[in-house]
Amino acid sequence: MADGTGPVTRAQRQARTRETLIVTARRMFLADGYGATSLDKVALEAGFSKGAVYSNFKNKEELCLAVLDSIQQRQIDEVAAAFRDHTSLDDRLAAFGRWARERIGQPRWTALEVEFGSVARQSPFVAQALLERHRAVRAAIAQLVEAVLEDTGVEIALTPDQAATALLSLGIGLGAQRSLDPDVDVEVFTATLRAVMGLPSS
């Protein structure tokens, strides 16, 4: 039965298996690294056969992309919530600052992204997939910037796309630095946002 509403369909079972594999792989990739985690290990840890893995993902690269998608989507959702759940611009920026302190440069996330990014040098498939995902993240940030500007009436010299590129680049750079040095001050992220918007420093 599926929540008491009827029998579980094949599609539902496959969706649940896929999600379990992503959750398991995410935990293992973050703990042990991309290179040390095999599909056999993921299948064993998740309680499935290796065939179940291959019925959902063609290879380890595709599974890791799904893991990175889940991590990036969570980050985007959290940033959007930080702005959505507050009304004043100052409160929104303060909420964003709290998110940045908690999330930017978490060593395991950054290490996985860097390790997997090196695969792109040997795999055109991975290179293209990462390109598409970076463009999608930039587009999501641009939409958020545009929505905030419209909501607050603030005008900036940059286009939403330019602001998104600058913010994503700053976030990636801060993440890389903070993964090595946890004392790196991420308050510069919020300070940069305020400067872009022509607001006084808090």
Give the pLDDT confidence of 7-45 residue by residue, as tens digits. Answer: 778 888 889 999 999 999 999 999 999 999 999 999 999
Q: Could you say which of 37, 57, 77 is where a domain stops?
A: 57
Q: For residues 131 and 108, which has the higher predicted lDDT (pLDDT)?
A: 131
Count: domains in the chain: 2
Which H or E element spans position 156? Answer: none
Provide the pLDDT confidence category of residue 101 given band limits of 50, 70 and 90.
confident
Residue ranges making up the domain that contains 178: 61-196
Residue identified by tokens 């978490």 is 106
Residue 43: give its domain's CATH number.
1.10.10.60
Q: Of 34, 57, 80, which residue is a domain's last?
A: 57
CATH code of the domain containing 151: 1.10.357.10
179 within some domain: yes
The predicted structure's pLDDT at residue 1: 44
Q: Does residue 69 sit in the same domain as residue 147?
A: yes
Shared domain for 117 and 30, answered yes or no, is no
